[in-house]
Structure 1
């Protein structure tokens, strides 16, 4: 894990336009900070998706067209704290569906906390945690031959470019069978005054979340980043429909990373691209799905039309 972390960091920081993979945000501190982000007044995404799961729970369950007499697997990619999913799990359990809930996450800490929470709140739901990479974990259940409903919520798909997202969904479909389902959470395209504060809150939590990536590199990779010498610098282009997060070097500086055995140089004002957050509409999603095995079955939105959960069918 450390070797891959170091390799990915070296690859990104060696580019002419420096990057760092967003998946490394999520250590224990990163997990806790992201939970704080989800509770920020500016971060509408979680509240809007929670509204859908709270007010349209029965409609979501009905859209799955699951047979109460047939066992299925409910697989959540990037499960996090599972707060939204709990509404769905409770409804499925109360209605007598037969299923196992398989939360998949790269964070062992998140999985442990989620399992403890569900044991307390929904003791009748069977939980089978899967720690690791999405496709590795999907591969482990691919041959079970049971119907599958996959959840990919929170607009996690938005952390990918459209090309990568299309390839991701194609690969996901390759691990599923005909008529399996995918519930895909997407943040919809909106104006800058709504979107940008979600990535640049007044309390500075998103700043801490982005800077924590440097702290993690200091701790795990033996780097010597001066955390005060970098700033959180988000951008959003409504026409493009993509929010981007950067770490901005406040001065000319050099950073040594023991795990890579290299020194990296930063100009004053130079940016490290850490994350994208793609926003969607029906047309954007249609283009992404064009080369996959998925088609749109249903669409659920919150009252403000800020967020959408698309129910996709594996053709």
Structure 2
């Protein structure tokens, strides 16, 4: 049985980590710096989400330019009761990469109002973030909804879901917001397929996708006028220094560059060297770049291809008003 973490939160938090997060990300850091034939240098996106990075990202979600959060809140506020109606009592709900409860609380409130006895599990790789999140949600907040935290990565969550105790109740696995967009399209399909393989025909996946096809709107969402998103990206270098235990990067040597890639239909974030430097013996000339993030957007055809490759079928679609395939949508998918 996984150990419960002794923390400051009233909500129980279970440590399901199979190995330390830092151990699993080091290979990506060192391997990504090597430039193979036809490859670009990369750093892992997950390195952006250290404790400070999570707080910076939360600030970003309140920006006017960052349309995704407002669109998701609109969808949940409009359809929470209908989504709750699809979730059976006694369900175990697991949110992958939970962040704060600002959005999901709308759905939890709807489940509580419907008298649905469910268990909500928030999966996050930061104990500090889980404790901070649940600090605003005392145990007595809900009578029917029971809240728990899971400390671990996506892979840890997948292994935990395979345990027999989690197969005995109806499952609703949720990946909300734009998290899925951080994967390449083939990786996103594999990610969903892996979780689809642990649910039964009566279980469900609630998946959020960003369908924005407006290049300028996407660009400004990741390159806001206050520079908060660039601060968030730049903090990733400090996070990597912490993970590696050495001053691998001097943030002052790097600028953040955001680009919209029309061919891939995704926004990309890079670190660009301001001068000629060496990092762990790897030479970077002024202007050389390292990609740290991609945010893919899904057209109707790309969305349909995703479901096909993941072996999923959409059973209910919940979209924001004026559904013109330009903004976030939520889907319930059933095997």
- For 1:56, what is the secondary structure of its paired residue? helix
Counterpart in 1 of 2:307?
A: 289
Structure 2 Cα separation of the partners of residues 45 and 182 of structure 1 = 20
Counterpart in 1 of 2:330?
A: 309
Structure 2 Cα separation of the partners of residues 179 and 30 of structure 1 = 37
Structure 1 Cα separation of the partners of residues 334 and 257 of structure 2 = 38
**1:174 aligned residue (177, 181, 197):** 197
Report the more deviating stretch, 74-83 or 217-226: 217-226
Are 2:196 and 1:196 aligned?
Answer: no
**2:296 aligned residue (250, 275, 278):** 278
Are 2:20 and 1:4 aligned?
Answer: no
Q: Is the 8 A contact 1:139 1:175 kept in 2?
A: no
- For 1:195, what is the secondary structure of its paired residue? helix
Structure 1 Cα separation of the partners of residues 112 and 262 of structure 2 = 41
Structure 1 Cα separation of the partners of residues 28 and 45 of structure 2 = 11
**2:257 aligned residue (233, 236, 243):** 233
Are 2:100 and 1:77 aligned?
Answer: no
Alignment of 1:32-111 (within 5 A): 32-62=55-85, 64=86, 66-68=87-89, 71-111=90-130
1:108 deviation in Å?
Answer: 1.6
Are 2:266 and 1:247 aligned?
Answer: no
Are 2:326 and 1:298 aligned?
Answer: no
1:9 deviation in Å?
Answer: 0.8
1:110 deviation in Å?
Answer: 1.8
Structure 2 Cα separation of the partners of residues 213 and 48 of structure 1 = 26
Report the more deviating stretch, 107-116 or 36-45: 107-116
Q: Is the 8 A contact 2:88 2:170 kept in 1?
A: no
1:3 deviation in Å?
Answer: 3.4
1:123 deviation in Å?
Answer: 3.9
Structure 2 gaps of 5+ residues are 1-19
Counterpart in 2 of 1:258?
A: none
- For 1:117, what is the secondary structure of its paired residue? coil
Structure 1 Cα separation of the partners of residues 221 and 108 of structure 2 = 28
Structure 1 gaps of 5+ residues are 256-261
Residues 184-230 of structure 1 show CA distances to partners (whole Å, capped at 9, x for unaligned) of 11111322221101111111111111111111223342124221221
Would the alpha carbon gap of residues 218 and 240 (structure 1) be closer, same or farther in structure 2, given more than 3 Å must change? closer
1:30 deviation in Å?
Answer: 0.3
Structure 1 Cα separation of the partners of residues 193 and 175 of structure 2 = 14
Residues 120-143 of structure 1 show CA distances to partners (whole Å, capped at 9, x for unaligned) of 783433112111122322332332
Q: Is the 8 A contact 2:112 2:142 kept in 1?
A: no
Would the alpha carbon gap of residues 13 and 282 (structure 1) be closer, same or farther in structure 2, given more than 3 Å must change? same
1:165 deviation in Å?
Answer: 0.8
Q: How many residues align?
A: 304
Q: Is the 8 A contact 1:191 1:238 kept in 2?
A: no
Structure 2 Cα separation of the partners of residues 104 and 219 of structure 1 = 22
Report the more deviating stretch, 114-123 or 171-180: 114-123
Normalization by structure 2: what TM-score? 0.86
1:106 deviation in Å?
Answer: 1.4
Aligned CA-pair RMSD: 1.7
Structure 2 Cα separation of the partners of residues 310 and 220 of structure 1 = 35
Q: Is the 8 A contact 1:295 1:313 kept in 2?
A: yes
Q: Is the 8 A contact 1:155 1:184 kept in 2?
A: no
Would the alpha carbon gap of residues 203 and 7 (structure 1) be closer, same or farther in structure 2, given more than 3 Å must change? same
1:6 deviation in Å?
Answer: 2.7
